[in-house]
A = this chain, B = another copy of it.
């Protein structure tokens, strides 16, 4: 590792947002006092050059931003508030001069949520590999699991679906938009996802039983995870899926593929009782987060069904199983 110490010095924050932080970067471990009477929330996600991004699809700044964003999205999906993060970067020497840009991407997003960088590692490697651990806490011990969906619940989703997948295809030269602005909007959704911490926090302050998943692997995959964890059947109405004006300009087949299986939108998939919907919608509207009802939960063996006009198909994590009747 070429000059690891000066790199660590350059990324060490000058001040901490949390007075509960006793020791951040600079010792064997970090130490902090947890928020009293609250649970701790922890997650860890890795992005690898050539697998999750290439120099063609993401700038160093965006790599840093997204590496933290995908973890904050996992905290949001528990209804939590993020407090700290740790970063390990393994990189080849050709990346050395761009590492500070990666840290700038991380810290620009961290600043928006007052999150402190408290540790990590920097090591040599052939391919840039970035792993983030994010740590947060609950609000009044409330949290949301995938296993809390009940028959009679409605299914809701934030934002729009499929934009990130379309943006990636444009970056890879596999898809063209109708104009530059359309391309830029879709690409931005892929490169700079914004974690919906605020949405999770809003729900944590309300009294409803809610199940929650962030959409990292595509709506079909996440809906199946809720169905399996909760032991219920989910019925999704395709015509109700929220799509951006940009996505709606694409071929309908691509719209369907990207909105159901695209992934990396980092929207939240929610099941909640009917009585919660209006309150959620009003609170989300105030902070500019779109919330759309896309289906309902039934009793039945764990499964997800997609209704599209007269067609009803079993939706697996990666595709359809159409019925022959």
Contact = CB atoms under 8 A, between A and B. Distances in A.
A102 interface: no
Contacts of A73: 28
Contacts of A28: 43, 73-75, 77-78, 146, 212-214
Contact of A138 (B31, B75, B145): B31
Interface in A56-91: 73-75, 77-78, 80, 84, 86-88, 90
Interface in A125-170: 125-127, 129, 131, 133-136, 138, 143, 145-147
A183 B90 CA distance: 31
B84 A44 contact: no
A230 to B, nearest CB: 12
A34 B22 CA distance: 16
Nearest to A30: B42
A77 B80 CA distance: 30
Interface stretch (A116-124, A241-249, A272-280, A303-311): A116-124
Interface in A22-37: 22-23, 26-34
A256 interface: no
B86 A44 contact: yes
A42 B135 contact: yes
A39 B32 contact: yes
Contacts of A125: 48, 51, 127, 129
A319 interface: no
Copies of this protein in the complex: 2
A147 B27 CA distance: 9
B78 A46 contact: no
A289 B209 CA distance: 52
Contact of A133 (B39, B50, B133): B133
A229 interface: yes
Nearest to A200: B28
B86 A51 contact: no
Interface in A2-47: 22-23, 26-34, 39-47
Contact of A42 (B46, B47, B118): B118
A290 interface: no
22 contacts: A27-B78, A27-B229, A28-B74, A28-B75, A28-B212, A29-B75, A29-B77, A29-B80, A30-B43, A31-B40, A32-B39, A34-B34, A34-B39, A44-B86, A44-B121, A46-B121, A47-B123, A48-B90, A48-B123, A51-B124, A88-B131, A127-B127
Interface of A: 22-23, 26-34, 39-48, 50-52, 73-75, 77-78, 80, 84, 86-88, 90, 118-121, 123-127, 129, 131, 133-136, 138, 143, 145-147, 212-214, 229
Given A31-B41, A42-B118, A51-B124, 20 more contacts: A23-B143, A26-B146, A26-B229, A27-B77, A27-B78, A27-B146, A28-B214, A30-B43, A31-B78, A34-B39, A43-B86, A44-B86, A44-B119, A48-B124, A48-B125, A51-B123, A86-B133, A125-B127, A129-B129, A133-B133
